[in-house]
Amino acid sequence: MASSPDARYAGPIKAVIFDWAGTTVDFGCCAPAAVFIEVFKRRGIEVSQTQARGPMGMHKRDHIRILTRLEHVATQWERQHSRRPTEDDVESMFAEFVPLQVEAIKRHADIIPGAIETIAALRARGIKIGSTTGYNDEMMAALTPITTNAGYIPDCIVTVSDVQEGRPAPWMALEAASRLGVYPMAACVKLGDTVADIGEGLNAGMWSIGVVEHGNEVGLTQEEFAALSKSDRAARCSVARKRLENAGAHYVIDRIAELPRIVTEIEDGVYSQERRA
């Protein structure tokens, strides 16, 4: 179990900072995964769904760079191009990735069930709503008009365009807290569906919570998830839960609708009591 944020703070939660794809929109975090696979395919390189999803949540350029360093990918690249991938290749793929991602985002912009109601419940408790994302400003410009029309309007949106380094570095979460005017960091919760999200929250000194069913680690559309047998659903969620727990999440929940209950547990000191037990 990860260490709790600064134990000297015992006040209420003042802000929740949400990830976007896989957490509040795009059930299964499907928009990015397909595009990563496509940009490598165009260069004759096969990348699996599992490989494409591995670094999810990071700056998309960093994500591509990590994929090029996989031995499976680098070996294919050498066969196809008589050399290993270079930083120029990373930049070329990222430039190609951005417009493809923008179009994919528009197709995967549905609000995740329970998100609007959860955010309304948190706001009713006086909690501010922030957001961070591995998408850049251009990508978010395609997404936010759709989500605004659907009723999701966070108090602030911080993208990788706003910081010197993306996840798991803490800068986006810290920038969100600054824009919200909230401190100390122990009064903030970071919710996300990837290992990189968990790292971002932990490195910022916040409560870091992972979400499973509609996130990247399960990686299924709402329809695909609903079609699973009870045993298959449990098995996939168990693997995803363990991955987020191993990343250091303070809590891992099945779905976003469970978050208000966890916020109450944090405020009531349940996490600290469990550590002492």
pTM of structure? 0.90
**Given 60, 190, 193, 197, which residue is catalytic?**
60
Mean of all residue pLDDT scores within the chain: 95
Q: Helix (H, G, I), strand (E, B), or coil: what is residue 86? A: coil
129 and 242 in a single domain? The answer is yes
pLDDT given at position 264: 96
| Ordered DSSP codes for 25-86 | BSTTSHHHHHHHHHHHHTTT----HHHHHTTTTS-HHHHHHHHHTSHHHHHHHHHHHSS---
Q: Which amino acid is at 1?
A: M
pLDDT given at position 2: 73
Q: Is 19 a catalytic residue?
A: yes
Please give the biggest Cα pair distance in the chain.
60
164 and 57 in a single domain? The answer is no
Residue written as token pair 């209420």: 12
* Banded model confidence at residue 199, pLDDT cuts 50, 70, 90: very high
**Cβ-based burial of 232 (10 A; exposed 0-12, middle 13-18, buried ≥19):** exposed
Domain region containing 233: 15-29+111-276
Q: Is 2 within a domain?
A: no
Q: Helix (H, G, I), strand (E, B), or coil: what is residue 67? A: helix
End-of-domain residue from the set 107, 139, 164:
107
Q: What is the CATH number of the domain that holds 35?
A: 1.10.150.240
**Given 19, 26, 62, 193, which residue is catalytic?**
19
End-of-domain residue from the set 107, 129, 144:
107
pLDDT exceeds cutoff 70 at 49: yes
pLDDT given at position 1: 59
123 and 85 in a single domain? The answer is no
* Banded model confidence at residue 4, pLDDT cuts 50, 70, 90: confident
Hey, what are 126's tokens? 């006086």
Q: Using CA atoms, how far apart are residues 90 and 59, in angstroms rounded to an integer?
A: 12
> In terms of pLDDT, which residue wins out, 180 or 32?
180
pLDDT tens-digit profile of 79-96? 999 999 999 999 999 999
Q: Which amino acid is at 247?
A: A
